[in-house]
Amino acid sequence: MSDDYAPPTDPLDVIHHDHEILIVNKPSGLLSVPGKGPHLADCLIARVQEVFPTALLIHRLDRDTSGVMVFALTPHAQRHIGLQFEKRQTKKTYVARVAGRLDPKTGTVDLPLIVDWPNRPKQMVCHETGKQAVTDWRVVKSSDDESRVRLMPKTGRSHQLRVHVLALGHPILGDPFYATGPARDHPRLMLHSEELRLRHPDGGEGVRFRAKAPF
């Protein structure tokens, strides 16, 4: 990644902002936070803070994943929503295009994950030392070539969705780490954070934010 990082130059896509939180639609190809070295300094948090100087990080999306991200605009909001993520009280829905016909139409993957050290940042299933990772899935439509699915992670492990659908035998199209052959030959990773539900830090009311998948 360090040699070919060329993030998109799309203007900041703000879905919502108020006195406590900021919701942004992250483009694919942009780091959430800076990488190591000045060539990896351009990232979403840096771009957000140019417009909203008090913005604070709560969670991340992979560089190649697009979609809904929430930032705090106050330390209170950061603590409040951070705790919701930690306690798995937020609800996240992703859209993905995966290789082949995924069958059955709904199901759950419950496979523990750990970093694949010789090949990091790749992750792998490990029943001995892996951390619990659970993902629900539902097929939206499918053909022999590919399926469009909604993925609802119950945990937030690194690369969880990518490894879990790979374990089902259906890698996400365009995945530079886990897809091979024709499945890899796509212009981007076909994974998008479509919806995020959480409790607003001012009063605790449930709120929902969505961004339509660009694929």
Q: Name the residues annotated as catalytic.
A: 62
b/e code 159-197 from CB counts within 10 Å (16+ = b): bbbbbbbbbbebbbbbbebbbeeebbebebbbbbbbbbb
Task: Report how far residue 52's alpha carbon sits from residue 65's, in angstroms, rounded to the nearest whole number.
Answer: 22
Instruction: Identify the DSSP state of 172.
Output: B
Half-sphere exposure of 127 (CA within 13 A, CB side): 1
Closest to 11 (Cα-Cα) out of 39, 41, 51, 38: 51
Beta strands in 8-79 (DSSP E): 14-17, 21-26, 66-72
